[in-house]
Structure 1
Amino acid sequence: QILERRCVIETESAIDPIAARRAVFEESSGFVSGKDGRERVLDKAARRLSVSPAELERALWADQEDNLAVKEFRTLAPEDLLKQYNLSLAQTLLFRATAMEIRVKDNYQPVFRKIKQLGLIYSIHDGKISLEGPLSLFKMTEKYGSAFARLLPTLMQAGRWSLKASISRKTFQGKRIYDFALDHTRRSLFGVESDAEVGFDSAIEKEFYQLSFKGWTVQREPIVLQAGEYAIIPDFSLERNGTRIYVEIIGFWTPEYLKHKIQKLNLLQEKESLILLVNRNLACTGSEFQAENLLFYDKKIPHLEIIKILRGYEEKQKAEELARLEGMEISLGSDAGVIDLEEVARRYGVGIEPLKETIKGQNRLGFSLIGDQLVSQHVLEEIKAELEGVKKHDDALKIFVRHGIRAYSQALTLLGYKVKWSGLDPDNAEILKV
């Protein structure tokens, strides 16, 4: 069947075989006796269809499988044929499935769209999506195996996914249930590539994805959230230092869709971590949503208002992290002369600013806080000695780079220097002792 689907198969006939059979039947009145009678009927039907009797006779059964002609065949490499065969085998196995559970890390929208299209029922628990059909509620059935099989290629389009299915098989001991498991690490066996292209439902979503939120990373359709018996896939998440804020954009939709959307969003447990962007032209006031962070938009994303909301989350996170670090003796994890605090912050699971404030309060002897680094007095003395006689700002910069110090302007000031600029060309800048 795999090869057959790659064939272009046609009938070799001067006329439509069905029309040919109909004409012969009508001319024969449904009955012919003898060879002469047969030829008379064929002659009359052929004249009626403007073809020769021989062409008519060939057309009569030209659409039967044995008489079809392969006009074209789309070739494929042996390896690709094997991969398609593997996919077909997996789907054939799922035909006998009574239930299936899946996990998916991206490509959520196409997967759930396909689930809905196939008429399957889903439930979500701890990121696991259990699939079944209406009759599964009353008895174990293989009725939905074909739907599970048809879902498989869409599931395989995700970057990371897994499935577990219960397969019913008849044995000499009776019907038995076997477990079948598959995940994205076996994708190469099936030749289904991950769809890395980012798709957008609207221009406003595309605009949001392209915006910068000052330290917050934008993720498209980041996760499946449970809202009662429903699933919600937020349009975006904004992530920073372990904090994740979800963003849902509600644009032009039907009243029925809007009502259903409001119902689902109000069931979310993550409402405190949700920003709703609602089209001002929708027939709603905003009070319908149980959301703390609701912004209306007209034609553009309210960028500054979103950043203000994010600043509130940042302050809250900073306060929580400062409280967590309070009274804790920070271990730098290194005796190097220049210590990168970003690495220390990652180790403690906090942001860089709370860590810096904590370190300032601990008054680290022998170290100076310069930018996001702790620099030992010994290193600063070395740099100070190397700066003696240096005039050009560019030469001074090379010294700081050699020692691995990034905030060189702050370090210059700490060491008692200032920069004298001559025009806009940095090559003409000099350093002077204060």
Structure 2
Amino acid sequence: MLPKEYLDVRKIKGKIYPRFVDFEWFDIAKKVISIYAKNTGNKLKKARNEVKKIEDSENYKKIRAFARIVEREIDFKSPTTLNPLEVRKLLFSKGPVTTASEREKVIEEVARRFGVDKREIELSMFGDMEEDSIIDGVKVDPETLLMKYNLSLLQTTLMNAIAVRFRVEDNHKKVFSGIKRLGLMYEIEDEFVRLTGPASILKQTKKYGTAFAKLIPAIVNSRLWVIHAEILDYDRIYRMSISSEDGVMFYREKLSMDFDSSLEEELYSRLICSRRDLEIVREPSLVSVGGFAFIPDFRIRRGDREIYIEIAGFWTEDYVKKKVEKIERANIPLLVVAREEIAEKLKSRHVIRFKNKLPYLKILKFINEYFADSGGKNIMKAEGEVPEKYLRYKDWFVSIDFIEYCKKCIEEGRVEEVVEKEGGSIALEYLGYKVVWDGLSDFRIVRVHDD
């Protein structure tokens, strides 16, 4: 965020428009960065004085905001190895000085006490003040500076928000963990999240707006997003709408695949390895449950058929109560993989139970069955007479050609190809093998009677 005096917006007919920057500002951003960079080894106040020289009446808000952001990206070092506070205490204990010679005498005396020269005392006297910090390196480029400025400007614009609605395409868990951490309340309205405003606009607007502004980075980190806001400016309310489709360049953190538990990571790794024909998305779109959000761990899709997966692992008792209610009320195709004590509380869903170890083969079998009638040819659900060139195994019709193909793969050591195919685990079972996993993605097959 930026200081309010750097806020740069237009207000037209009840709407507010932040003055975002684009590549037309690239050269100015580069100039500001270069001023700080060339002052490496000098005090910060020297660079600040040089930045002021490139300001004019039209660009001063942008220049000062750029400088503010650049200073967040600077490595500083102290101008001295001494403790400035201790140096000041000793200097001031000598009493007031009224002439230059008296000052020189006091500094020489203090220098002897610390065992350093006079210049070191001069440097350390106010060495803990921000402007006296020594620039040791600048870690931002012009394009990143422009993107960080736009993000900060949007945050600052929304600091006086009294009502906010937004929608995100992904990154849901980080958004909602941010809502919880910042103490914001919310409701789900259609596909939008409405952050409920303060009870008193006059008393709590700033606190509410600041909390929402801190949520902005998580929202714009989504692939697609929309924000609608009402912003109080003195005694008038302005409206603002902005989305990822507006073409404004915002700074975005690189999203990493962070898992909430080792069980989630294990399931994802094995599914990616076993069923490469499926689209597997972690933390897909949120599901509205009685006005609140439910975000399943995974969505698995092929064509127009999909199913969600929720892993109910090591949950606290209080969390179980809240989560079970959401699971029961979620109107989506859902497979719950649950520890035994949690599974007992679930009634109306497909549930695979486990005690300690993730029952991956049961999960894979369920997924294979679920997607078996969505275009697969290797296996089909057994209904009616056995089709030509198929054989029946348990509840499946399995292609004879596929069985022969699997035999050949096993003989040639290409077992991975079999496991990746739809119906591969069924064919292996028919041939007398089972899959044994030796980690998240490594596996081998063994004869059932050899296990």
Match of 2:241 in 1: 181
**Alignment partner of 1:117 is 2:142:** no
Match of 1:301 in 2: 359
CA displacement, residues 249-268 of structure 1 (integer Å, 9 cap, x when unaligned): 011233333333234334x2
> Which of 91, 106, 112 does residue 24 from structure 1 map onto?
91
Query: Counterpart in 2 of 1:227?
Result: 289
Q: Is the 8 A contact 1:98 1:141 kept in 2?
A: yes
Alignment check: 8 A CA contact 2:198 2:208 kept: no
How many residues align? The count is 310
- What secondary structure is seen at the aligned counterpart in 1 of 2:69? coil
Aligned to 1:237: 299
Inter-partner Cα distance in structure 1 for 2:146 and 2:278: 44
Pick closer, same or farther for the CA change 1:205–1:240 going to 2, 3 Å.
same
Of structures 1 and 2, the larger Rg is shown by 1
State the match for 1:394 in structure 2.
none
Alignment match, 2:322? 260
Question: CA 1:194/1:36 → structure 2, altered by over 3 Å: closer, same or farther?
Answer: closer
String of CA shifts for 1:127-153, please: whole Å, max 9, x gaps. Answer: 210113554699772432222222111
State the distance in 1 between where 2:342 and 2:148 align. Answer: 52
Alignment partner, residue 148 of structure 1: 212
Choose which of 291, 309, 325 in structure 1 pairs with 2:348: 291
Q: Distance in 2 between matches of 1:109 and 1:15?
A: 46
Partners of 2:76 and 2:133 within 8 A in 1: yes
1:219-277 per-position Cα deviation (integer Å, ceiling 9, x unaligned): 322221223353210011233554433211011233333333234334x242x732211
Over 3 Å counting, the alpha-carbon distance change for 1:44 and 1:153 in structure 2 is same
TM-score (norm 2): 0.59
**What TM-score, normalized to structure 1?**
0.61
- Following superposition, the deviation at residue 33 of structure 1 comes to 7.1
Shift of 1:103: 0.5
2:71 is matched with which residue?
A: 4
Shift of 1:91: 1.5
**1:390 maps to which residue?**
none
- 2:84 is matched by which residue type in structure 1? P
- Counterpart residue identity of residue 180, structure 1: M
Query: Counterpart of 1:189 in 2: which secondary structure?
Result: coil
In the TM superposition, residue 65 of structure 1 has moved relative to its aligned partner by: 4.3
Evaluate the alpha carbon distance shift between residue 9 and residue 134 of structure 1 in structure 2; reply closer, same or farther with a 3 A threshold. same
Structure 2 counterpart SS, 1:144 = helix
2:124 to 59, 83, 97: 59
Counterpart CA distance in 2 for 1:251 and 1:258 is: 10
The answer to whether 1:132 aligns with 2:196 is yes
Q: 1:57 to 1:72 in 2, by over 3 A?
A: same
CA RMSD of aligned residues (A): 3.6
User: 8 Å contact 2:162–2:197 — kept in the other structure?
Assistant: no
Q: 1:135 to 1:67 in 2, by over 3 A?
A: same
Q: Which amino acid letter does the alignment assign opposite residue 253 of structure 1?
A: W
Q: CA 1:187/1:154 → structure 2, altered by over 3 Å: closer, same or farther?
A: farther
Instruction: State whether residues 162 and 198 of structure 2, in contact with CA within 8 Å, keep that contact through their aligned partners in structure 1.
Output: no
Q: 1:99 is matched with which residue?
A: 163
Within a 5 Å distance, the mapping from 1:33-432 to structure 2 comes to 41-77=106-142, 79-132=143-196, 135=199, 141-170=205-234, 175-186=235-246, 189-192=249-252, 195=255, 197-209=256-268, 210-211=270-271, 212=274, 217-240=279-302, 242-266=304-328, 268-270=329-331, 273-280=333-340, 284=341, 286-297=343-354, 298-304=356-362, 307-308=365-366, 311=369
Q: Give, as a single letter, the amino acid of the residue that structure 2 aligns with 1:148.
A: F
Per the TM alignment, residue 104 of structure 1 is displaced from its structure 2 partner at its CA by 1.0
* Cα deviation digits, residues 79-134 of structure 1 (max 9, x gap): 33222222222111111211211101111111111111222111112121011355
Pair 1:41–1:201, CA change in 2 (3 A): same
Residues 356-408 of structure 1 show CA distances to partners (whole Å, capped at 9, x for unaligned) of xxxxxxxxxxxxxx99xxxxxxxxxxxxxxxxxxxxxxxxxxxxxxxxxxxxx
8 A contact 1:274–1:291 mirrored in 2: no
SS of 2:163's partner is: strand
Relative CO higher for 1 or 2, CA cutoff 8 Å, sep ≥ 6? Answer: 2
**Structure 1 residues 137, 249: CA separation in 2 closer, same or farther (over 3 Å shift)?**
farther
Deviations 1:165-209 (A, max 9, x none): 112223xxxx222221121224652242673x4332233223333
Q: Do the aligned partners of 2:283 and 2:298 also contact (CA within 8 Å) in 1? A: yes
Matched with 1:344 is none
CA distance in 1 between partners of 2:251 and 2:97 (Å) = 56
CA distance in 2, matches of 1:202, 1:75: 34
Kept in 2: contact 1:156–1:193 (CA 8 A): no
Question: What percent identity do the matched residue pairs reach?
Answer: 33
**Aligned equivalents of 2:258 and 2:176: distance in 1?**
15
Q: What is the one-letter code of the residue matched to 1:60?
A: M
Q: CA deviation at 1:39?
A: 5.7
- Is residue 168–residue 177 contact of structure 1 (8 Å, CA) maintained in 2? yes
Whole-angstrom distance in 2 between the partners of 1:229 and 1:137: 24
